[in-house]
């Protein structure tokens, strides 16, 4: 069934391309080798996929409707280069599926795409770090920031750009499903403002995720993100800040199949969850014939659920990473990256995901 659907999609895309020259088939191939060691675990040597950019292929196109308006589409599927598997089972275009209209009045699009702080796809405006969420969790923003994801049933509106400013508004009527009545769907709300003028770029994002209809009665997660970068010529300096209210722990996933994992999930990621602050300070420069990047992030906060004698309420984490990129051409580059991280209190006792180190070497080719 999946092969038939894929063949039909490619045939339709090819047929459309014969009638419209602005349809593009594109993709990214990214793979390497990662050596890593988490606290309490053995050293691992693994083939790693999508280190710098996620592996993908897609088709996109547009049609001029006249009077400055055009309709566009984008269909993008992720996959694992090491085994050819689709990135998300059951979704043909898991990375992005969008249909929209754009003009002098702005842009409207419908479908599945990354939220404003997700660092995923066409409509993320997350900034404030040179490689944001690329490479392993230890060393990227995922180790300190709670960032949103791709959501189904979404609508986005982008305002026209005015003197470097642009507004971004996104809503999901059900992050995974909108088959129930509205009050049972889990919604996403996002509003953002970006500014870009010369060497300065900045973004401000507010997001909310409710849990209507969920088995666990969690408080609405609210996120406020601020990011900025300034190009001084010799180097670029980056900074980012997040305030997370009633949010799950950053960079941590608990095994809810075990009783211990379920207890930790209920303590730290359900109910009132956690309030915390996250910071990132980074820099990049051109050196050694390529690009050198240094990225650091730090978070601290407190669990808002009731105190339990055997569990910590406060937590903190810190990680740093460095990367070097060498461009063989406009479409092919080699990279190497290394990172180290540590965590304290609740994060030290509940998980080892953020304590350890990793190093990666690989390459990316785009077409």
pLDDT of residue 354: 93
Average pLDDT over residues 151-156: 98
Query: How large a percentage of the chain has pLDDT more than 70?
Result: 94
pLDDT of residue 21: 56
pLDDT of residue 189: 98
Tokens 């990256």, residue located: 337
The whole-chain average pLDDT of the chain stands at 92
Average pLDDT over residues 111-123: 97
Cα distances (Å, whole numbers) of residue 46 to 49, 51, 86, 88, 202:
10, 12, 19, 21, 36
pLDDT of residue 5: 46
> CA-to-CA distance for 358 and 356, rounded, in angstroms?
7
Confidence of residue 107 (pLDDT cuts 50, 70, 90): very high
For 48-75, the pLDDT digits (tens) are: 999 999 999 999 999 999 999 999 999 9
Confidence of residue 153 (pLDDT cuts 50, 70, 90): very high
In terms of residue numbers, what domain contains 122? 2-366
Query: In sequence order, what are the residues at sequence separation of 6 or more whose Cβ sits closer than 8 angstroms to the Cβ of residue 47?
Result: 31, 32, 33, 34, 82
More confident: 42 or 8: 42
Summary count for the chain: helices (H), strands (E): 3, 17
Strands 356-366 and 332-345: what pairing?
Answer: antiparallel
Query: In sequence order, what are the residues at sequence separation of 6 or more whose Cβ sits closer than 8 angstroms to the Cβ of residue 146?
Result: 221, 223, 242, 244, 247, 248, 250, 278
Joined tokens for residue 283: 């820099």
pLDDT of residue 304: 95
Question: For residue 314, what is the domain's CATH number?
Answer: 2.40.160.10
pLDDT of residue 2: 47
Provide DSSP, 212-272.
TT-SS-PPPEEEEEEEEEEE-SS-EEEEEEEEEEEEPPTT----TTSHHHHHHHHHHTSTT
Provide DSSP, 162-222.
BTTEEEEEEEES-SS---S-GGGSPPEEEEEEEEEETTEEEEEEEEEE--TT-SS-PPPEE
pLDDT of residue 197: 92
| Residue 188 confidence (pLDDT) above 90 | yes
Cα R_g (the chain), whole angstroms: 21
For 266-281, the pLDDT digits (tens) are: 999 999 999 999 999 9
For 312-339, the pLDDT digits (tens) are: 899 999 999 999 999 999 999 999 999 9
Query: How large a percentage of the chain has pLDDT more than 90?
Result: 79
Q: Is the dihedral of CA 302, 264, 320, 240 positive or negative?
A: negative
> CA-to-CA distance for 228 and 141, rounded, in angstroms?
14
- Tell me the whole-structure pTM to 2 decimals: 0.90
> CA-to-CA distance for 141 and 129, rounded, in angstroms?
8
E-state strands within 255-329: 274-287, 290-303, 314-327
> CA-to-CA distance for 89 and 344, rounded, in angstroms?
35
Confidence of residue 161 (pLDDT cuts 50, 70, 90): very high
Split into its structural domains, the chain has a count of: 1
- 5 class by beta-carbon count within 10 Å (0-12 exposed, 13-18 middle, 19+ buried): exposed
| Residue 10 confidence (pLDDT) above 60 | no
């Amino acid at each position: 069934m999946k092969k038939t659907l894929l063949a039909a999609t490619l045939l339709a895309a090819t047929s459309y391309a014969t009638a419209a020259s602005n349809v593009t088939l594109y993709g990214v191939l990214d793979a390497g080798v990662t050596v890593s060691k988490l606290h309490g675990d053995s050293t691992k040597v693994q083939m790693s996929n999508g280190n710098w950019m996620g592996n993908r292929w897609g088709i996109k196109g547009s049609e001029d409707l006249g009077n400055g308006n055009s309709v566009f589409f984008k269909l993008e599927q992720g996959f694992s280069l090491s085994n050819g598997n689709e990135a998300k089972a059951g979704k043909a275009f898991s990375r992005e599926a969008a249909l929209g209209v754009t003009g002098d009045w702005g842009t409207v699009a419908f479908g599945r795409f990354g939220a404003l702080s997700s660092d995923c796809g066409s409509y993320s405006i997350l900034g404030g770090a040179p490689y944001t969420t690329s490479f392993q969790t230890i060393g990227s923003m995922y180790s300190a920031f709670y960032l949103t994801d791709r959501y189904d049933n979404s609508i986005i509106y982008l305002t026209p750009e005015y003197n470097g400013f642009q507004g971004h508004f996104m809503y999901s009527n059900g992050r995974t499903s909108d088959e129930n009545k509205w009050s049972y769907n889990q919604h996403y709300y996002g509003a953002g403002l970006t500014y870009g003028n010369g060497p300065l770029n900045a973004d401000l994002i507010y997001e909310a995720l409710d849990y209507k209809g969920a088995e666990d009665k969690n408080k609405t997660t609210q996120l406020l993100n601020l990011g900025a970068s300034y190009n001084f010529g010799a180097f670029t300096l980056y900074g980012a800040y997040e305030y997370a209210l009633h949010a799950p722990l950053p960079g941590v996933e608990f095994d809810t199949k075990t009783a211990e994992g379920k207890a930790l999930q209920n303590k730290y990621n359900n109910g009132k969850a956690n309030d915390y602050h996250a910071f990132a300070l980074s820099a990049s420069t051109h050196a050694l014939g390529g690009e050198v990047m240094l990225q650091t992030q730090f978070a601290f906060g407190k669990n808002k659920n009731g105190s339990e004698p055997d569990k910590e309420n406060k937590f903190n984490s810190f990680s740093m990473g460095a990367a070097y990129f060498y461009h063989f051409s406009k479409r092919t580059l080699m990279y190497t990256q290394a990172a180290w991280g540590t965590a304290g209190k609740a994060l030290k006792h509940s998980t080892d995901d953020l304590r350890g180190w990793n190093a990666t070497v690989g390459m990316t080719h785009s077409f």
